[in-house]
Structure 1
Amino acid sequence: MINLWCRSLLVMLVLAPVPGSAWSDGDSTGSDQARGPNPTLTIEGDRFLLDGRPFSMWGIRTASGTQDDAQCDHLVAQLDDYKAHGVNTVAVYYMGCRGGNYDPFSPDGTAIDPGHQERMERIIRACAEREMVVVVGLFYQHAPFGLRDAGAVREAVRTATEALEPFGNIIINIANEQNSGGWSDTAAVFDFRDPERIIELCRLVHEVDPGRIVGGGGYDHEKNIVIGGSPEVDALLFDTAGPDPDSGALYDRFVAAGVEGKPIVNVELFGGWTGQFERGIFPEEVRRAYLREVEAAATQPGLSVFFHNNVWCQQEPMRYDLAGSGTEDDPGIRWYFEAVREATGQPGDRQAEGAPEAPPVAFEDQPDGLRMTIGGEPFATYVFERGETTRPFLEHLHTPRGVQVTRNNPPVEGVDIADHPTFHPGLWLAFGDLGGPDSWRDNDPIRHAGFVEEPQGGPGRGDFVVRNRHIKGGEVIAEEVCRLTMLVRPAGRLLIWDSEFRPVGGTLALGDQEEMGLGVRLATPLAAVNGGRIIDSEGRVNEAGVWGRQADWCSYSGEAGGDRAGILLMPDPGHFRRSWYHARDYGLLVANPFGRRAFTGGEPSRVVVEEGEALRLRFGVLVFDGEPDPDAAYRDFLEQIGHGG
């Protein structure tokens, strides 16, 4: 029988590569190792710094995000939306929370359930890639508590601290609501209600990892003063339980009592009070209470607050998505995040005061996919698979003025340039060599395995998240979670294609071909052979100048029926490598970060994703009329993904 608490397996997890999308480009020389970011959080006085730059912390409590794979996928899928609204930190507990309790520690505290640790690391890496932070909570009062004695509690702190040591973008929070009566059940093992015990465990964290930021607290504010006043506590992480937390006044109280020179963070606004009103519906007085907290944090640099709503984030099925505006007709928590975006000055799809509302994005189920409209007019159709094209794709993309910018699918005889009728269905992400399988040429399928998040539309924005399975010989070799986001932007319709790939049953090695990455087949009238034009960010033109060259963006446009229209491809600059472009005058454009030998004749590229790690690929696709400024459109794309230029 396999011992789930095998320490050697835990060590394997701890020593796995750290970056946000943890993979390596496996050249035999080791000279081209590709690694994602691992930002480091530090403290200077009462302020946080991330990689030495000021970091104004805005958070959300997502305590049970590690409890199973589906919950983890759901949380990771929200991170870009959080970041776009200025929320840059998530709080996750090893023991989860009410609604998702779980004890991953072995009874003696010397090991963590490997699957649980893998999910925690996945969240941390995904946040690192986005320059976000994770507050990692260790203990939760309502969880099934299997640690057998005080020594096991201390050992669990050591084990978790060692497991988290490779990551720079975390804070350790010792225990949830340390003064809660819920801890009375475990008092015989370890009395978390005693502030000195919290300080003791903070000291233990520093013994294991001297540079780690650690804190604790609860909603007994006299005990918070004791905890926050200790030099072993780097940040006071307190909670508030009632309808009027007044974090600003509490901040002043803590500082006056000697908790100074360190950040003060309310990691749980309102506590259980939010269970007293309906899920996703926020009466006006409730909104005012939340907005007072946003204002307090925005005006006091040493104070941070974390959104919490137990009926949304802790009541099964737990939800971390923003959804709607918080009304009975449109339940959700997006209204709070919009308030944070206003407070932090984040760019996004806010409407100027008095401006007309952006046209709504809507979805209509089809037998083999989804039809998408913007303002009631066709935008595109997402197809799971059809006929000989055995992978997902988008077909018949339209500009705001209604010009179809992708080739007819299938090509129309006598109208279209008809090569590659099934390989080039419109817009797609596929690979000629995904560790052997070839989904580009439809030799090996990519199967739609369901929605992680159902389609959700609204003014100026719509998105959905799907799970895809990459198949070889009837076996799943990789799982892909893909978010597609449609945004109404000044320059046109912006589609953000964001996919994360995880190997199944072994490593995944992506090879080196022209036919790798995000591809689009332009409508026949727009092709360069018919008078269209390809141009990249370096000013190079058409196939002769663009093919096989690296660039930040590449535009392909032409005239159809007297109207100029086109598509702008924009890879995320956070990828492991700048993309080359497989550009053809007959109408093909592909952004490909893999084809080093195929395009340059250099050393072959081999990007390896180890089991338990992930590769993230993200692209912006602007569908436009006329001739928008591509540099401005690219900057707008960077703002939308929170890259900051």
Structure 2
Amino acid sequence: MKYYLLTCLLLLLCFFCHQSHAGDYAFTVKGEKTYLNGHEFLVKGLRCSNALISDRTTDELIANLDTFARYGVNTVSVFFMGSRFGDVKGYREDASLNPVYSRRMDRIIAAADKRGMVVLVGCLYWSTSKAKWESWTQTQANLAVANTVRWLKEHDYRNVFIDVDNEGMARKAKGFDNRRMVIAGKAVDPTFVIATNFHGPPPAEADLGIHHSEKVPGKPYIESEATPSNAPGNYWGKYSKVDGYYNYINIGLYNEDMKANQIKKTNEHLSNGMGYMLASTWLQCVPPHGPNNNPGGYGTKDDPGIRWWLDYLRNRYGPYEPPASRLKTVGR
């Protein structure tokens, strides 16, 4: 009898320990809208794609989530492969998750969930970075997405959605079929929200389109990498890069016309019910200059940063107030 009671106690302990790590928020889609815990949820976010570079950069993002929320931000994007110049080896060559980086992602998603915030989890990044594996074929690309969904499912993180291939870069460079990558993720768990990001309509199996994707009837659209369209020389072109230098230039710098353009586009997207996430060299640059997972300043040479945009977001839409968590809803 004593051993029976001890076994029951251990089983109960395991159950409640699992529950304590379970997410309280669930991101879903229905029709052309996105939802959080069943409430309409308009994404207002920041692209923090290189946040996994180090424990320090991860810590900084977590430390600033409350600050970002006070400005109205409800979503951040973080990539297992990082982004340009990041060299984040989030996947091993066999497409399994690298535990160094999955632990950092774990901390970010858990911290976001505690605040009722959402994380856009990026899988493949196939541009100027040492993160990619040139040996990969479609098989490994599919596995990377499947392993990402499996990892999220095992942790019961539902305050997320997934970008299988940033800007369709791997699709263009290696011919990887993004539809097959979506299907691989859905085979693990069809309830996770998965997006595509290439020039063209999202496949039927994808839940939504983001950034480069065409806007199509019946699916939500989120501009997940928004920059000023009037930057001299193109924002991700000559304005922010120079040959032979492995980092960005003009980090966190915006002239007044660029600021006005970004604010105008922010308002256009959000007013039309489409999510909007600001991307910036301020957020994405690499050591020794970043990543800067903080507001910074007002975009001048003496005060670089994105606070000017955050001020607009807060003044126009107010601080972020999350819906009730699943735990609180069940307890009512």
**Band of TM-score, shorter chain:** 0.7 to 0.9
Taking a change above 3 Å as real, the CA distance of residues 328 and 106 of structure 1, as seen in their structure-2 partners, is closer
Matched, 1:93 2:79: yes
Could you tell me how far apart the structure 2 residues matched to 1:298 and 1:74 are?
A: 27
Residues 77-106 of structure 1 deviation map (CA, whole Å, 9 limit, x = unaligned) = 111111111111111110011131222322
**Are the equivalent residues in 1 in contact too, given 2:34–2:220 (CA < 8 A)?**
yes
Alignment of 1:496-575 (within 5 A): none
Q: Greater share of strand residues, 1 or 2?
A: 1
C-alpha separation between the residues in 1 aligned to 2:193 and 2:145?
14
Distance 1:207 1:340 in 2: 38
Which runs of structure 2 are paired with 1:7-26 in the superposition (5 Å)?
none
For residue 269 of structure 1, what is the aligned residue in structure 2? 226
Q: Determine helix, strand or coil for the equivalent of 1:154.
A: helix
Could you report, residue by residue, the CA deviation over 1:382-419 in whole angstroms, capped at 9, with x for unpaired residues? xxxxxxxxxxxxxxxxxxxxxxxxxxxxxxxxxxxxxx
Once residues 62 and 112 of structure 2 are traced to their aligned partners in structure 1, the CA distance between those partners, rounded to angstroms, is: 8
- 2:5 maps to none
One-letter code aligned to 1:275? S
TM-score (norm 1): 0.42
Tell me, yes or no, if structure 1 residue 283 matches structure 2 residue 265: no
Q: Are 1:275 and 1:310, in contact at CA under 8 Å, matched by a contact in 2?
A: yes
> Out of 149, 156, 171, which is 2:144 matched to?
156
Question: Paired residue for 1:136, among 88, 108, 121?
Answer: 121
Is residue 2:179 matched to residue 1:199? Answer: yes
Superposed displacement of residue 179, structure 1: 4.6
1:170 pairs, out of 142, 160, 168, with: 160
Read off the aligned partner of 1:161 and give its amino acid letter.
V
The 2-side partners of 1:32 and 1:116 are apart by: 27
2:204 aligns to what?
231
Whether 1:319 and 2:292 are equivalent positions in the alignment is: yes
- Kept after mapping to 2: 8 A contact 1:224/1:236: no
Ranges in structure 2 where 5+ consecutive residues have no aligned partner:
1-8, 228-234, 242-248, 328-332
From 278, 284, 288, the counterpart of 1:307: 278
Residue of structure 1 in register with 2:230 after alignment? none
Counterparts in 2 of 1:99 and 1:27: CA distance versus 1, 3 Å: same
Equivalence for 1:80? 66
Aligned to 1:66: 52
Going from structure 1 to structure 2, the CA distance change for 1:140 and 1:347 (only over 3 Å counts) comes to closer
Taking structure 2 as the reference length, the TM-score comes to 0.79
CA distances 1:564-601 after superposition (whole Å, capped 9, x unpaired): xxxxxxxxxx9x9xxxxxxxxxxxxxxxxxxxxxxxxx
- How large is the RMSD of aligned CA atoms in angstroms? 2.8
Secondary structure of the structure 1 residue equivalent to 2:34: strand
CA-to-partner distance for each residue in 1:528-587, whole Å, 9 max, x for gaps? xxxxxxxxxxxxxxxxxxxxxxxxxxxxxxxxxxxxxxxxxxxxxx9x9xxxxxxxxxxx
Residues 32, 119 of structure 1: alpha-carbon distance in 2 compared, 3 angstrom cutoff: closer
Identical residues among aligned pairs (%) = 24
Q: Which runs of 5+ in 1 are unaligned?
A: 1-25, 240-249, 349-573, 577-645
Match of 2:37 in 1: 51
Q: Secondary structure at the match of 1:260?
A: coil
Give the drift of 1:67. 2.2
| Closer, same or farther: CA 148–329 of 1 in aligned 2, 3 Å | closer
The alignment of Structure 1 onto Structure 2 pairs a total of residues equal to: 291
Aligned-partner Cα distance in 1 for 2:140–2:210? 24
Q: Work out which structure has the larger RCO, using CA pairs closer than 8 Å and 6 or more positions apart in sequence.
A: 2
SS in 1 for 2:200: helix
Give the aligned partner of residue 303 of structure 2. 330
- Would you identify which runs of 4 or more consecutive aligned residues in structure 1 move more than 3 Å? 26-34
Q: Deviations over 1:273-330 (max 9, x none)?
A: 55177223321111011111111123111x1111111254224321111022223332
Q: Does residue 126 of structure 1 match 2:99?
A: no
- Residue 91 of structure 1 aligns to a residue in which SS? strand
Question: Cα distance 1:43–1:324, how it changes in 2: closer, same or farther (>3 A)?
Answer: same
Match of 1:174, SS state, is strand
1:361-372 → structure 2 map (5 Å cutoff): none
1:295 equivalent in structure 2? 267
**How far does residue 27 in structure 1 lie from its aligned partner after superposition?**
10
Partner in structure 2 of residue 399 of structure 1: none
SS in 1 for 2:315: helix
Q: Assess, with a 3 A threshold, how the Cα gap between structure 1 residues 180 and 272 changes in structure 2: closer, same or farther.
A: farther
Alignment match, 2:191? 211
State the secondary structure of the residue aligned to 2:211: strand
* Contact 1:45-1:262 within 8 A present in 2 as well: yes
Which residue of structure 1 lines up, in the alignment, with residue 330 of structure 2? none
User: Which residue number corresponds to residue 39 of structure 1?
Assistant: 25
